[in-house]
Amino acid sequence: MQVSVESTSALERRMTVGVPAERIETEVNKRLQQTARRAKVPGFRPGKVPMSVIRQRYEAAARQEALGDLIQETFYEAVVEQKLNPAGAPSVEPKVFEKEKGLEYVATFEVFPEFQVAGFDGIKIERLQAEVADADLDNMLEILRKQNTRFEAVDRAAQNDDQVNIDFVGKIDGEAFAGGSAKGTLLVLGSGRMIPGFEEGLVGAKAGEERVLNVTFPEDYQNLDLAGKAAEFTVTVNSVAEPKLPELNEEFFALFGVKESTLEGFRTEVRKNMERELRQAIKSKVKNQVMEGLVESNPIEVPKALVSNEVNRLRVQAVQQFGGNIKPDQLPAELFEEQAKRRVVLGLIVAELVKQHELKADEARVREMIEEMASAYQEPEQVVAWYYKNDQQLNEVRSVVLEEQVVDTVLQKANVTDKQVSYEDAVKPAEAPQAA
């Protein structure tokens, strides 16, 4: 087998492979012999058909099959021989095929980039330090109470934070429009759920009252047919209900699966959850900074095939998330290309870093992570046992731990500063970077 390789770009390779005629004929004959043992030809017993007849009937198909298989086999042999690492399937173009001279074909493909991960000392990391103060705990209890607010009917005018039950009909230029009418809608005044002026226009209304609201849809309204247009809503208030916060009692605690019967015990459980959330938030923000730093410090070119595969994965995820009667390939690739390229770059950098530093998931940390996740459930031992019986889930945890070890490796040499902040600031989602 003869092999020559040409670099047509930083990552693209054009490999010419010559397969000798003898090898092809050997493969063709092997297939014909297999066919002869099972072929059913009128006038001959199975297994007794002359090879000349077998060749006449089946040689063309056997040769076609042999050539296809040999291209796959020899491509693999050639890239191993040339120490190439293809990033995706090749584009194969048969160049020459003559029975006496053999086969020559050209395979064009991309290879994975070769690089060393570096620049750790130039990565700046701001590591947040925070704790759960009593005031944070008190605030969380109020949030939990508000999330479980009950509404009780009252015989008075509606005010902000009240829930009203309404029927409404919307019109533009005197004509009703699609989606502009509803009956029995529950609306909390002041929630900002409706367009500006709608909720404000119902403050002071009583049950049984009808109000006409003149409002304007925002210029950036999601429905472009309505954006910026003036509308008139005729609203009938069916009932008014005021909010009632639940008491901090055993019944309330049970809503969260907490068996504690005392406020102090419930506060302890909530604090544990807040501390767990705090640790995860700080860890996540550090990890994001590390990954951002690795990408900036290691600019690499990535194979188009990998980016294309990642675009397709993102398309599928988008369809699964938003639903609708749309196929993934109907979504424009351009929507996902930037994100896909970044994910591929990061994946290659992390994989190379793992290889350079010979990192393997620390099983003790895997166990610790599983136990921490399990502690949020009523029967943590069962959750731990479930993970260790489920290889897929266990390997996902191992991947997360390995990423944490990558982060730790970078932090050992990165420029790290600690910053004391409040609990609220620590758990607040990081702002997305502004586009240049």
pLDDT computed for residue 432 by the predictor: 56
- Supply the pLDDT for residue 434: 44
Evaluate whether 108 touches 91 at the Cβ level (below 8 Å): yes
The DSSP string of 212-267 is EEEEE--TT-SSTTTTT-EEEEEEEEEEEEEEEPPPSSHHHHHTTT----SHHHHH
The tally of CA atoms less than 13 A away on the side-chain side of residue 63 is 15
- Torsion sign, CA atoms 66, 69, 73, 75: positive
Contact 387, 363 (CB under 8 A): no
The sheet carrying 12-19 orders its strands as 2-7, 12-19, 102-110, 91-98
Whole-model pTM: value is: 0.76
Q: What is the DSSP letter of 336?
A: H
Tell me the mean pLDDT per 10 residues along the chain, length 436.
94 95 93 85 80 87 92 96 94 82 93 94 96 97 95 96 97 94 96 96 97 96 93 97 95 85 92 94 95 95 94 92 82 93 95 95 96 87 95 96 96 96 93 48
Distance between CA atoms of residues 317 and 238, nearest Å = 42
Report the distance separating Cα 94 and Cα 107, nearest Å.
Answer: 9
- What does the alpha-carbon distance between residue 422 and residue 424 come to, in Å, rounded to a whole number? 5
pLDDT score at 212: 97
H-helix or E-strand containing 129?
Answer: strand 124-129
DSSP, collapsed to helix, strand or coil, labels residue 116 as: coil
Report the alpha-carbon distance of residue 102 to residue 104 in Å, rounded: 7
**Radius of gyration from C-alpha coordinates of the chain:** 34
pLDDT for position 13: 96
Whose tokens are 């260790």? That residue is: 388
Exposed (0-12), middle (13-18) or buried (19+): which is 187, by Cβ within 10 Å? buried
Q: Which position has the token pair 């119902």?
A: 202
Give pLDDT, residue 94.
Answer: 84
Token pair in block for residue 99? 């029975």
